[in-house]
């Protein structure tokens, strides 16, 4: 249905199976965080009340997905579940060559190892960290070309995920191997990319003869923002709109753990036959036979159903509204957030909330620890702990799909409000031990007293 005209946007589902969530005492949370070295990645999930660490693989599957799981065909070659998966992805994207992979970064690895010889240059609006790591592992260079507005948390432009076209023109003149757009732009606040920008990037790539791929992990949320924010798209059905995005590119990588609403899975797809031949060989080396690609037949079924459910208009309206509501309520209780709110998460601006904590004492980590100690809420720091040169000290509160209700969000807002009320008393952290790379996953920290 599309004529919903109520002020209240309801969860467009009812709940058939429930899972108890842990409710801990303050003393238990203090003990758990201390034992985890003040790093929430080291916490056991059974000590977390509301888990907003990621929206990846953490969604609630529908009854249709659980039912499809039971009819998964586990044949090694030519399974019925692959045929279904392939036909759904073909309908969604229009690409003729479809490969299942076990998750998004497997597609990144296959792409990087086959078509990016050492010295290649890849440009993107902003590479997600695993995408960058796979490109660099192949000896290629990953360059981010975001628009200027992406760096300003208070700028409310509707499409801060766009790529800078003047920067792309300059890059193409110097020579580029592959152009990518990440929809939505996760590393830059979950901001959407406009159809106008996708079309402009596509036209430039075609003129220059450079292949153009989408990292389409959150293709449905991106399509929703085009539908609601970009003139001319309000009356186009969402599957058609998504198809227009894919039509502009030569292929895509999809982590099905996001808008596939599956617990595991991914897609690598293209219209380029020469690249498809390379992908297939690399897939067999690392993932499995091309009709299952590192997944069980039942996983292919869940992804096939999820990819279509993600484009349901009532679901997307609720999804975007619940993220926007969360952002509004956080600002109301004194927690500044990146504006406008993105599609899958709210990014709190810890640098502004804690101006008394210098970047080298990790204001984002201070907020992450305070949210956990106050109410068992787990978020992730995206600041100087994750990226030592970070310009902004952010904390991402990701929204798993179809998992938490408005009451859960109201609770998180109450927890955050209590932290904001005593912001001046919150102290920074120092690192006790850190690994040589990706330190945020495993470093141990201590509060500065």
Active site residues: 76, 128-129, 215, 217, 258, 440
Which residue spans within 209-333 are E strands per DSSP? Answer: 212-215, 251-255, 266-270
Among 59, 72, 100, 104, binds ligand F0G (CB under 6 A): 104
Which CB, 120 or 131, lies closer to ligand F0G? 131
Which CB, 192 or 266, lies closer to ligand F0G? 266
Structure-token pair, residue 304: 């096939």
Structure-token pair, residue 310: 């993600």
| Inter-CA distances, 378 with 374, 381, 401, Å | 11, 10, 16
Instruction: Name the closest residue to ligand F0G (Cβ).
Output: 104
Answer yes or no whether residue 103 interacts with ligand F0G by CB under 6 A: yes
Stretch that binds ligand F0G, among 2-10, 127-135, 205-213, 290-298 (CB under 6 A): 127-135
Which CB, 4 or 441, lies closer to ligand F0G? 441
Among residues 153, 168, 161, which one has the least CA distance to residue 187?
Answer: 161
Answer yes or no whether residue 329 interacts with ligand F0G by CB under 6 A: no
- What's the closest the beta carbon of residue 406 comes to ligand F0G, in angstroms? 23
| Inter-CA distances, 42 with 47, 195, 427, 447, Å | 11, 40, 21, 16
CA separation for the pair 112, 134 (Å, rounded): 6
Among residues 332, 278, 338, 269, which one has the least CA distance to residue 87?
Answer: 269
Answer yes or no whether residue 191 interacts with ligand F0G by CB under 6 A: no
Which CB, 171 or 379, lies closer to ligand F0G? 379
Stretch that binds ligand F0G, among 98-106, 196-204, 274-282, 291-299 (CB under 6 A): 98-106
Structure-token pair, residue 352: 């502004």
Cβ-contact 292, 99 below 8 angstroms: no
Which CB, 213 or 315, lies closer to ligand F0G? 213
CA 424-429-434 angle, to 5 degrees, is: 165
Stretch that binds ligand F0G, among 71-79, 103-111, 318-326, 356-364 (CB under 6 A): 103-111
Which CB, 124 or 426, lies closer to ligand F0G? 124
- What's the closest the beta carbon of residue 403 comes to ligand F0G, in angstroms? 14
Count of residues for the chain? 449
Answer yes or no whether residue 347 interacts with ligand F0G by CB under 6 A: no
CA separation for the pair 388, 260 (Å, rounded): 32
Stretch that binds ligand F0G, among 97-105, 145-153, 199-207, 302-310 (CB under 6 A): 97-105
Among 49, 124, 191, 255, binds ligand F0G (CB under 6 A): 255
Answer yes or no whether residue 215 interacts with ligand F0G by CB under 6 A: yes
CA separation for the pair 291, 208 (Å, rounded): 34
Look up residue 70 and give its DSSP letter: H
Answer yes or no whether residue 189 interacts with ligand F0G by CB under 6 A: no
Which CB, 219 or 318, lies closer to ligand F0G? 219
| Inter-CA distances, 340 with 61, 254, 394, Å | 28, 24, 14
Answer yes or no whether residue 372 interacts with ligand F0G by CB under 6 A: no
The residues pairing with 141 across neighbouring beta strands, listed in sequence order, are 121
Stretch that binds ligand F0G, among 42-50, 125-133, 278-286, 318-326 (CB under 6 A): 125-133
Among 130, 228, 361, 406, binds ligand F0G (CB under 6 A): 130
CA 197 to chain centre: 20
Among 79, 112, 186, 365, binds ligand F0G (CB under 6 A): 186
Q: Which of residues 39-78 bind ligand F0G (CB under 6 A)?
A: 54, 56
Query: Radius of gyration over alpha carbons of the chain, in Å?
Result: 22
Whether the bond between 184 and the residue before it is cis, its omega within 30 degrees of 0, is yes
Which CB, 242 or 420, lies closer to ligand F0G? 242
- What's the closest the beta carbon of residue 117 comes to ligand F0G, in angstroms? 22
Answer yes or no whether residue 105 interacts with ligand F0G by CB under 6 A: yes
- Residue 331's Cβ-count burial label (10 Å; 0-12, 13-18, 19+) is middle
Among 29, 132, 257, 263, binds ligand F0G (CB under 6 A): 257
Stretch that binds ligand F0G, among 100-108, 293-301, 322-330, 370-378 (CB under 6 A): 100-108
How would you classify residue 382: left for phi > 0, otherwise alpha for psi between -120 and 50, otherwise beta?
A: beta
Structure-token pair, residue 154: 């208070």
Task: Enumerate binding residues for ligand F0G (CB under 6 A).
Answer: 54, 56, 103-105, 128, 130-131, 182, 186, 215, 217, 255, 257, 266
């Amino acid at each position: 249905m599309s004529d919903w005209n109520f002020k209240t946007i309801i969860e467009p589902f009812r709940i058939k199976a429930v899972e108890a969530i842990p409710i801990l005492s303050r003393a238990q949370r203090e003990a758990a965080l201390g034992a985890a070295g003040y790093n929430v990645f080291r916490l056991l999930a059974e000590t977390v009340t509301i888990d907003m660490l990621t929206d990846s693989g953490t969604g609630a599957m529908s009854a249709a997905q659980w039912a499809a799981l039971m009819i998964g065909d586990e044949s090694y070659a030519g399974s019925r579940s692959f045929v279904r998966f392939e036909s759904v992805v073909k309908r969604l994207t229009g690409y003729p060559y479809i490969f299942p992979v076990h998750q998004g970064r497997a597609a990144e690895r296959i792409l990087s190892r086959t078509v990016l010889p050492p010295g290649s240059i890849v440009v993107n609006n902003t590479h997600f960290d695993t995408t960058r790591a796979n490109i660099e592992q192949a000896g290629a260079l990953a360059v981010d070309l975001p628009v200027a507005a992406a760096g300003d948390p208070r700028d409310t432009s509707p499409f801060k995920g766009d790529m800078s076209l003047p920067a792309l023109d300059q890059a193409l003149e110097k020579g580029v191997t592959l152009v990518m757009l990440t929809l939505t732009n996760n590393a830059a606040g979950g901001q959407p990319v406009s159809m106008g920008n996708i079309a402009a990037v596509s036209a430039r790539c075609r003129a220059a003869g450079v292949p153009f791929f989408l990292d389409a992990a959150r293709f449905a949320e991106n399509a929703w923002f085009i539908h609601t924010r970009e003139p001319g798209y309000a009356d186009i059905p969402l599957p058609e709109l998504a198809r227009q995005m894919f039509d502009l590119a030569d292929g895509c990588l999809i982590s099905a753990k996001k808008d596939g609403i599956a617990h595991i899975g991914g897609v690598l797809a293209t219209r380029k036959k020469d690249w498809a031949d390379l992908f297939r060989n690399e897939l067999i080396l690392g993932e499995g036979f091309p009709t299952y690609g590192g997944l069980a037949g039942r996983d292919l079924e869940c992804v096939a159903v999820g990819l279509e459910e993600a484009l349901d208009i009532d679901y997307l309206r609720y999804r975007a509204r619940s993220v926007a509501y969360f952002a509004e309520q956080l600002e109301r209780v004194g927690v500044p957030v990146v504006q406008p709110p993105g599609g899958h998460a709210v990014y709190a601006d810890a640098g502004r909330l804690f101006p008394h904590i210098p970047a080298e004492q990790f204001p984002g980590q201070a907020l992450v620890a305070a949210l956990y100690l106050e109410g068992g809420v787990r978020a992730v720091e995206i600041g100087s702990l994750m990226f030592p040169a970070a310009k902004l000290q952010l904390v991402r509160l990701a929204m798993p799909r179809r998992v938490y209700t408005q009451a859960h969000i109201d609770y998180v807002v109450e927890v955050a409000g209590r932290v904001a009320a005593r912001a001046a008393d919150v102290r920074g952290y120092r690192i006790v031990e850190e690994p040589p790379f990706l330190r945020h996953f495993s470093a141990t920290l201590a509060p500065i007293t």
